[in-house]
Structure 1
């Protein structure tokens, strides 16, 4: 049998997490830094309320998850306060 040259995942290898974190970016709005992470339609499985328009972000809708990147209470508090936005609502905010 021929040898495979593909890299095999090692135990504890979080390559998927690294791939997903590559999508994250930091944006500055209203004088504050925000972490923006896209969520694909396939990943969107719950209903959320968009803070931009007040309407539901329904399952199966691609959207953005936004949280403060420079909050004074620490990373854990910022991540706990994240919100799900329609992409268009975040763009016009």
Structure 2
């Protein structure tokens, strides 16, 4: 199992919309993530900075960040583009984070 972490940025005032959309995540998107090896996926919000911290456990070398060409993922990105910082293709602006400590 590999652990991945990355951060993204939520637009100011969009906390409730972000939570609502993720509470209603599309079943087919959840299945796609699981089928691609994502077994755990958590997202945390730092409300002072509107920074989102995401953590995934994945099998293999993939993860949600490797699904950029999938039409369902592109549809999700378009759905989320109005409430978070995005690139020109609607993908979330994200920065991978280096793991510097892990306690088993």
Per the normalisation by structure 2, the TM-score is 0.28
Higher helix share: 2
Larger Rg: 1
Q: Which has the higher contact order (CA 8 A, sep 6+)?
A: 2
